[in-house]
Amino acid sequence: MRDSPLLKIVWAHLTGRKRQTIVSVLGVMFGITVFIFQAGMITGLQDYFIEKTINSTPHIEISSESDASKTPVAAKAYKGSSDIWFSIRNQKDREEFDKIKDGLQIADLLESHPDVYGVSPSLTSQAIFKLGVIDVSAVVYGVDIRMENRLFNLEQDIVQGSVTRLETVNNGLILGSGLAERLDASLNDNLNIVSPNGVTLAMKVVGIISTGLRDLDDQRAYASLRNAQKLMKVQSSHITDISIKLKDIDKAPELANEFERRFGYQAEDWREKNASVFSVFKIQNIVTYLVIISIMIVSGFGIFNILTMMIYEKMTDIAILKAIGYTDKDIRVIFLSEALLIGFAGGVLGLVLGFGISIIAASIPFEIEGFVTSERLNVNFDPLFYTIAFFFGLLTTAVAGLLPARRAARVDPLHIIRSQ
Amino acid sequence: MLEARHLDKYFREPVKFHVLKDINIKVEKGEFVSIVGSSGSGKSTLLYTLSSLDTDYDGEVLIDHTDLRSLSNDQLARLRNSSIGFIFQSHYLLPDFTAIDNVMLPGLKLGRLSKQELLTAALEKLDLLDIRDEADKAVNKLSGGQQQRVAIARALINDPKIVFCDEPTGNLDSKNARMVFDLLKELAHGLSQTILMVTHDESYKTDRQIRLHDGQVVS
């Protein structure tokens, strides 16, 4: 009951200056719309990438990649002694293809680890792919296709051919879609693969796969583990990588450390492997929030201006309200409510408009080629954004209204009444 | 009802100036008192110090034995709301509201009556002032005399202990001015409303006249 006259005054003020009110509501609306749309788009893309990464790449990858800077044995032997100086000339590494020792046994051990969903051992090597006159350098990925398929659901990403043909066709090969494009290869083409140590193998394209992750699609070709080993001239126990999928992805960093300690090979979790991408995401996010914050500050200034003008215009109203018994607090409430009402209206409209634009944007076909390839914008419709955007809008308007409201509350009625 | 003891007031800007000099006055309940004097005599200043809007003075002002200076800003606002009515030279009605809404404003703040009861009370006041027909009109659609009568109704809505008037007829033509003064007199005598009025027109005969000259009570 006591609030109703205040609300009535608020309403009279807002409707009395319709144009200004509408402009400031639009200002807030615009800010919120941009917030919703931009945050939805940026994080939508990021989430899409993360989802793809989690689905199509190992959560933890154990690899044989040895430290490039091998310390010479002599250096190890004399480590810590300052009396002895030595120098090693013409140091030569043994020519040796990278390998995880007892890799298959390690894979078996990991398979039975309670936190592990599954493992897939593989032999990876750079190779030259030759088709007609085209030479392309890419990665041959020798796998047990059943194990690989269980982890990464390759079947779902196959666009031509099939996964099982890798087992049935002798010397079969599944090409990444980007790689196939570069080679101008199509299904059932025969091509030659030349390994770094000179072995050439004639292989047949039995499938083309498109995961949506650019790195994978452009660089990778799947072969059977046996064929890869033939290509590298190594024994059938020789593997270079173990892909691991976990039951709980959040445990990846912790388990990666554990495996690295236990087996003595480098174990990287998926975040570490994609660190460069995540740092780009971080910068994206910072830029996004800066843009949003500056828009909100601008609309905040708009509200500040309009309320300040309103106070000058309504000075006598304020004075008379005080003379007939309205307290400073009442006056403050009036002007703060005006700001908050503008914020509320702008917020609601902004949410609706942002949602609408997001839906439209998500439905328009749009080729994306970046970290990921996708046929449309992946917009995030997380309700959390909508909540944050709305309260952010209210907060901005409240802050913008605070100063004018305080100024209004400090108006001295005597000063106004006597000067007229 | 209202009492001033050794009231002194200074203007500090632009130079220090002694406006009110040792004022001692008393207004009893039901009295209709006017403060007269030439312009610059300090009569309006006196009215505002007596009515709680101006608390920058030396000495004491008591309304119903309460020292105004012992009250906080909020308490003063509450006192004005419940016990004091104001009528100014300008009507000072809120232009966005209708006549009846303007009258109800102080009552809504006080919250003593329900909205329905308040509406009835406000209509009664408008009836008393003979402008009930204009209740639902926007105030800027009313004539000057009607506006001032709405302002009087607003001053009366909470049944104040005292009504302060600052040149209530100053903006009106002589016919309307006469009518407003007659209304005030009727309130004072018919309803025993305590009224303190500042005017430069000494032809208005009230129960008692306080004459001010150069900030001093001369009679």
% of chain A exceeding 90 in pLDDT: 33
Residues A108 and A243 reside in one and the same domain: yes
Torsion of CA A129, A134, A138, A141, to 10 degrees: -30
**Residue A367 included in any domain:** yes
Q: Which of A264, A295, A327 represents a domain boundary (last residue)?
A: A264
- pLDDT beneath 70: ranges in chain A: 1-4, 65-74, 80, 93-96, 369-372, 420
pLDDT value for A319 = 92
Instruction: Tell me how close the Cα of A414 comes to any Cα of chain B, in angstroms.
Output: 6
Tally C-beta pairs within 8 A across A and B. Answer: 77
Which pair of tokens denotes residue A287?
Answer: 């830029």
The verdict on a CB contact (< 8 Å) between B96 and A12 is yes
The verdict on a CB contact (< 8 Å) between B81 and A9 is no
**Residue B61 CB-density burial (10 A; 0-12 exposed, 13-18 middle, 19+ buried):** buried
- Please report, for residues A92, A129, A142, the alpha-carbon distance to residue A232 in angstroms, rounded to integers and kept in the order given: 22, 14, 10
Residues A351 and A294 reside in one and the same domain: yes
Digit-coded pLDDT (tens) for B24-57? 999 999 999 999 998 888 899 999 999 999 988 9
Q: Which residue of A has its CA nearest to B56?
A: A414
Digit-coded pLDDT (tens) for B120-173? 999 999 998 889 999 999 998 999 899 999 999 999 999 999 999 999 988 889
Residues A10 and A117 reside in one and the same domain: no
pLDDT value for A2 = 43
The number of distinct structural domains making up chain A is 2
Digit-coded pLDDT (tens) for A234-260? 888 889 999 999 988 888 888 998 888
List of chain A residues whose C-beta atoms are within 8 Å of the C-beta of residue B101: 8
Residues A284 and A407 reside in one and the same domain: yes
pLDDT value for A1 = 38
DSSP sequence for A167-235: HHSTTEEEEEHHHHHHHT--TT-EEEEE-TTS-EEEEEEEEEE--SBHHHHHHEEEEEHHHHHHHHT--
**Residue A152 included in any domain:** yes
From A346, A344, A342, A333, select the one nearest A304 (Cα to Cα).
Answer: A342
Residues A253 and A172 reside in one and the same domain: yes
Q: Coil, strand, or helix at residue B70?
A: helix
Residues A211 and A296 reside in one and the same domain: no
Q: Residues 96..155 of B with a Cβ closer than 8 Å to A: which?
A: 96-97, 101, 104-106, 108-111, 114-115, 154
Domain assignment of residue A138, given as a range: 98-264
Q: Which of A264, A286, A314 represents a domain boundary (last residue)?
A: A264
**Residue B6 CB-density burial (10 A; 0-12 exposed, 13-18 middle, 19+ buried):** exposed
* Confidence bin at B61 (pLDDT 50/70/90): very high
Instruction: Tell me how close the Cα of A373 comes to any Cα of chain B, in angstroms.
Output: 59
Phi-psi region of B215 (alpha: psi -120 to 50; beta: other; left: phi over 0): left
Residues A246 and A307 reside in one and the same domain: no
- Please report, for residues A327, A368, B75, B76, B111, the alpha-carbon distance to residue B66 in angstroms, rounded to integers and kept in the order given: 19, 78, 11, 11, 23
Residue spans of beta strands (DSSP E) within A34-180: 60-63, 116-131, 134-143, 158-161, 172-176
pLDDT value for A93 = 65
**Residue A247 included in any domain:** yes
Residues A110 and A15 reside in one and the same domain: no
**Residue A64 included in any domain:** no
**Residue A66 included in any domain:** no
**Residue A311 included in any domain:** yes
The verdict on a CB contact (< 8 Å) between A324 and B105 is yes
List of chain B residues whose C-beta atoms are within 8 Å of the C-beta of residue A323: 53, 80, 86, 92
DSSP sequence for A245-293: EESSGGGHHHHHHHHHHHH-SEEEEHHHHTHHHHHHHHHHHHHHHHHHH
Residues A304 and A238 reside in one and the same domain: no
List of chain A residues whose C-beta atoms are within 8 Å of the C-beta of residue B90: 420
Which pair of tokens denotes residue B101?
Answer: 């809404």
pTM, entire model: 0.74
Residues A285 and A376 reside in one and the same domain: yes
Instruction: Tell me how close the Cα of B106 comes to any Cα of chain A, in angstroms.
Output: 6
**Residue A308 CB-density burial (10 A; 0-12 exposed, 13-18 middle, 19+ buried):** middle
Domains of chain B: 29-57+69-217 (3.40.50.300)
| Chain B touched by A165 (CB under 8 Å) | no
The verdict on a CB contact (< 8 Å) between A325 and B109 is yes
**Residue A371 included in any domain:** yes
Residues A104 and A246 reside in one and the same domain: yes
**Residue A9 included in any domain:** yes
